[in-house]
Structure 1
Amino acid sequence: MTTPHEELLLPATRRALLHRIAVAQADGRAPSLVAAVVRDGRTVWHGARTSVDGHGPDENVQYRIGSITKTFTAVLVLRLRDEGLVDLGDPLEKHLPGTGVGEVTIRDLLAHTAGLAAESPAPWWERTSASLRPELADVLGEQPLRHPVGQRFHYSNPGFTLLGALVEEVRGEPWEQVLRREVLEPLGLHRTDVRPSAPHAGGWAVHPWADVLLPEPAEDLGRMAPAGQLWSTTGDLARFAAFLARGDDRVLKAASLREMRTPAAPAEAADVAGGYAYGLGLEVRHHEGRLLAGHSGSLPGFLAGLVFSVEDDLAAVVLANCTSGPAVTTVAAELVGIVAEAEPRFPEPWRPLREADPAVLELAGPWYWGTQGYGLRLTADGLVSLEPLTGTGRRSRFRPNGDGTWTGLEGYYAGEVLRAVRRPDGSVDHLDLGSFVFTRLPYDGNAEVPGGVDPQGWRGVG
């Protein structure tokens, strides 16, 4: 029997999704594996595979989600920023004094560029009691820095512990309470919590050379909780993924979420080759030509992956209860790909502009930067786009500034200003884009072209 949301996908698509997670569970030797797919902001498929006959975990069974917790913590920090209580460029010392690493900025911590150690001092924090690390100093250790501040990406669990402490300091209450009030309750994530509640999966280690199991302890992480404590379900994480892709003004606006998934850390050479980058609490990766954001997670006994594609308006979540095994984040990316390719998204209907400013309409059409042709187009969303006519070269969309100029939104021209330079009679002489000159003809002799135009004009060789 199919559930109502499964009817939103074609039978062949549902079978392909189920086959993918069945292979992942079998090849990865996971005691259980659950998954969900989100399209257009709602869950359209849920699947499960398990080693227990006659039983399949549903979307309400909790699994530990490890470092996906970091994305929740990052949302809380961006809320503080949006309220004007902190600036991402603020040194930590300004809001949380006495840590010994007060020179690192909030942005550094969010992007893992603070230079902090990847882990807390021994013993292994994921497998030992939080009572061994009651204070921030116990989490950071005597030598918390491994690299110069702000110079390289180095993933750090203690860094997100500091961000959790920052949230507590600014809000004046525990991280757990702030998270529940400001994120979990507004988004309806009622099965996401710092502690498990039935029904929940048990965590297992699978022997690498034998098909036998060992139960993993579920340690409370204490001070490290903002880096990896949460338990959740595919149902809740599907709703969270929809929020991350679209925004919800009750929690965080879409613009701030775009900032979170914009690469903020300089990637290592291996990451560049693998198409991986890190934003502000979100991982960004290329998978088979598709740009995905999200986060992975693991703790002893559990693996978790959440990814979403804004362009396809698709997301997927995969959870498993084993310490190592299936590559759940890759599987999640492949689930997105299966739906995107089998049932591609319909584009929005083309609609004309309600009105067009004649002064802007005058600029539409072909322009030349030197000899390279570009097209300037007005779009129905009120932006203008500048794209190379040959398909190669720099391109960007521009938003109006209200004074007859536009600011670039992406690529090489992000933040650069585009303006029309007019002659005394009001006609357009050329476009100026960050000092680059665009003319109506290649090296237009009637336009103000820096460096001048040869008076003999264009000519052959003979």
Structure 2
Amino acid sequence: MTSSESLLPSTRRALLHRIARAQAEGRTPSLVAAVQREGRVAWSGARSCVDGHEPDGDTQYRIGSLTKTFTAVLVMRLRDEGLLDLDDRLEKHLPGTSAGRATVFQLLGHSSGLAAETPSPWWERTPGSTRPELADVLGESPVIHPAGHGHHYSNPGYTLLGSLVEQLRGASWAEVLHHEILEPLNMTRTALHASAPHAGGWAVHPWADVMLPEPAEDLGLMAPAGQLWSTTTDLLRFASFLARGDDRVLSASSVEEMRAPAAPPEAGDWTGAYGLGLQSVRRQSRTLLGHSGSLPGFLATLWFSVEDDVAAVVLSNATSGPLTGTVAGDLVDIVAEAEPRIPEPWRPLPQVDDELLALTGPWYWGTYVYGLKLLADRGIELLPLRGPGRSACFRACPDGTWAGLNGYYAGETLRVVRAADGSVDHLDLGSFVFTREPYDRSAAVPGGVDGEGWRGLPV
């Protein structure tokens, strides 16, 4: 099965070749994939069969820990509604657990110090009814690292977040998920339990081409960490939301907040990071965001590139074998590199503010030269004109200052400081003084400027 919209034949063949190789080399009963560009499905393809038919964008697979991103969105909605703060300790809203000192932020970003897994037995292959209480999920000593000191992936942490959602909403995690995410995003084929058409989960023998069916357990309290079934079509809708935001679910600024790294990576992992329910990886010059997932019998990955406006989903029904994360990343690369995004046409600003226009051009922090540019909506950009330096964009604030949006100056305030006659004396950026000339003697430079001015080397 293949379908496409406006991709070149060579690109379509490269995509099909990549998933065909992944299915054959990964020895998986089936593999289905899809690519989205500029918010529309651009290509989909599959290899092998599910129930005698080639899978398509409507065929459900279990997506494992991709479920965590949905749970994180529900928690961020609670934050945006003022029902909690990300720095709140869990015990403020969900008292009585042995992990109550962890903050919501730490739980979202896996920096709470909680153990990676539940106590025995293996929770992914046993009925959720074997753990009817949170105490059964956490065990006697759930905290194994100091909270906030680094990233340590924790499945029980997302069980706690699911219970937090239930506590504050007064409804089950599944009901909240349906009404607050799946319904508004029209994700009609994403659910707690499979419905036809769907793939069965298989274990493939590592040394022989034979298979063994895997159980598909209801995970009970662990559902917020890995329960969901979904399709490539639904997951591409979710990817579009995660890249752009949707005010029916979560604003663009809040999903952008989810994408930012939340804690230092684990030792030895310098190519990836974890935000608030979202993974990120760096592949050459491209940053991919999304999440991977696995449960016995299934592997799944969703990656999207904000800069390229390309997303890819890869789903497989094998416990191990195909590297879905690598394949999904390759699919993004194939489209982004073979058919790069066409830049938006340059257009002049709709109006000119002479006062702001007078601020543009070179400014000096000491002897470092920066350029100030005007952006839309009275925003500005400050960037080094020679050598390395700290660049940043700023948004205009109602009080006439600007707030930093990224990099070193994120959250810092830039303001114009005027002399007694009303002329601009300097720019103040977090106490750094930027002047029109290097160490301008007429400006209020901290420490003053030597009265004799610039000079050559005495001979």
What is the TM-score with the length of structure 1 in the denominator?
A: 0.96
Aligned residues of 2:58 and 2:197 also touching (Cα < 8 A): yes
Worse-matched range after superposition: 8-17 or 54-63: 54-63
Report 1:53-452 matches (<5 A). 55-272=53-270, 275-390=271-386, 392-452=388-448
SS at match of 1:187: coil
Aligned residues of 1:374 and 1:386 also touching (Cα < 8 A): yes
Unaligned 5+ runs, structure 2: none
Residue type at the aligned position of 2:153: Y
Residue type at the aligned position of 1:305: T
Cα offsets for 1:163-208 (capped at 9, x unmatched): 0001111111111111111111111111110001111111111111
Deviation at 1:269, TM superposition (A): 3.2
Residue type at the aligned position of 2:234: D
Cα offsets for 1:230-276 (capped at 9, x unmatched): 0001111111111111111111111110011011112223122xx21
**Partners of 1:351 and 1:144 in 2: CA distance:** 56
Deviation at 1:452, TM superposition (A): 2.3
SS at match of 2:132: coil
**Partners of 2:269 and 2:354 in 1: CA distance:** 47
What is the TM-score with the length of structure 2 in the denominator?
A: 0.97
Residue type at the aligned position of 2:423: S
- Provide closer, same or farther for how the CA distance between residues 237 and 431 of structure 1 changes in structure 2, counting only shifts above 3 A: same
SS at match of 2:256: helix
SS at match of 1:191: coil
- Provide closer, same or farther for how the CA distance between residues 410 and 439 of structure 1 changes in structure 2, counting only shifts above 3 A: same
**Partners of 1:332 and 1:456 in 2: CA distance:** 63
**Partners of 1:331 and 1:79 in 2: CA distance:** 32
Cα offsets for 1:403-447 (capped at 9, x unmatched): 221111111111111111111111111111111111111222222
- Provide closer, same or farther for how the CA distance between residues 435 and 167 of structure 1 changes in structure 2, counting only shifts above 3 A: same
- Provide closer, same or farther for how the CA distance between residues 151 and 53 of structure 1 changes in structure 2, counting only shifts above 3 A: closer
SS at match of 2:359: coil
Aligned to 2:449, which of 442, 453, 461? 453
SS at match of 1:68: helix
Worse-matched range after superposition: 311-320 or 380-389: 380-389
Aligned residues of 2:5 and 2:41 also touching (Cα < 8 A): no
Deviation at 1:36, TM superposition (A): 0.7
Cα offsets for 1:104-127 (capped at 9, x unmatched): 111111011111110000011011
SS at match of 1:186: coil
Cα offsets for 1:127-184 (capped at 9, x unmatched): 1121211111100001111111222211000000000001111111111111111111
Residue type at the aligned position of 1:333: G
Deviation at 1:55, TM superposition (A): 3.9
Residue type at the aligned position of 1:149: A
Residue type at the aligned position of 2:370: Y
Report 1:2-41 matches (<5 A). 3=3, 6-41=4-39
Q: How many residues align?
A: 458
Aligned residues of 2:50 and 2:199 also touching (Cα < 8 A): no
Aligned residues of 1:351 and 1:380 also touching (Cα < 8 A): no
Residue type at the aligned position of 1:198: A
SS at match of 1:415: coil
Deviation at 1:381, TM superposition (A): 4.5
**Partners of 1:181 and 1:455 in 2: CA distance:** 69
Aligned residues: CA RMSD? 1.5
Residue type at the aligned position of 2:135: A
Deviation at 1:53, TM superposition (A): 11
Worse-matched range after superposition: 78-87 or 353-362: 353-362
- Provide closer, same or farther for how the CA distance between residues 385 and 264 of structure 1 changes in structure 2, counting only shifts above 3 A: same
**Partners of 2:373 and 2:345 in 1: CA distance:** 18
Residue type at the aligned position of 2:372: L
Aligned residues of 1:352 and 1:380 also touching (Cα < 8 A): no
**Partners of 2:265 and 2:424 in 1: CA distance:** 42
Deviation at 1:368, TM superposition (A): 1.0
Deviation at 1:90, TM superposition (A): 1.1
**Partners of 1:456 and 1:12 in 2: CA distance:** 68
